[in-house]
Structure 1
């Protein structure tokens, strides 16, 4: 296995710029760096669509303004909640990616199935943080009440009832 001094997580604009800056500093060569990227391309959210995915049959730039994160993106949450296919059809206009990441430790791949509950707990923690940071006037509630609020929002976001 190669030995690299620096590991950069992500080959988006920031990751690529970090690598370039390090190499330009003359303190490191490209052989000292490794860039890890989850996707099969570099550029992060700067991406040109595939013609086959376009309703108009044309390529277009997705740019760095993708809607993401229902927890803190009210515009996206409103579009999903409206449930109006003429405005935004989640099944056709949206792409939901909640796939597992490949995680490795010193013994090899980690069994992510055992960690699925952890993902829900992390999302709930973020929801609670955002819930109370949106306004100083939010009434303090019990953990049970905030979990019920989270469950209610999830049901709306994922059109579960």
Structure 2
């Protein structure tokens, strides 16, 4: 999806540089699709500091997977001060607040428009907004929210049995 969006942006006169972190069984196919574009495949990175640096130096993080269960990479991007683009399906959409990113239609065109929107934002104020929003997803807060959810679910279950 991101590679197709990068091609659309280039064709519209908005070329972008893309760094893809991670690897998988489709890496070779993705590399072939990216031919002629400014796309760098860096593979898996185990150095957390390097990953954080890449995130912080990026203008936008695109998390195109609709299969995120929590969206840790989205929270990490926000904590680094980098806005995100996520699909309108999956967990990522629940993590994006106004000024922190864009929830895009799950299509290359949708992602291209969303990337353009984020790139037009004021970088300094956006970074501050992202960092402020990421605080809501600390491990302590997330754990407490999950426990509250379980407690409420148990209470509801007990009322329906009685």
Tell me the TM-score normalized by structure 1. Answer: 0.30
Structure with more helix by fraction: 2
In terms of Rg, which structure is larger? Answer: 1
- 1 or 2 for the larger relative contact order (CA 8 Å, sep ≥6)? 2
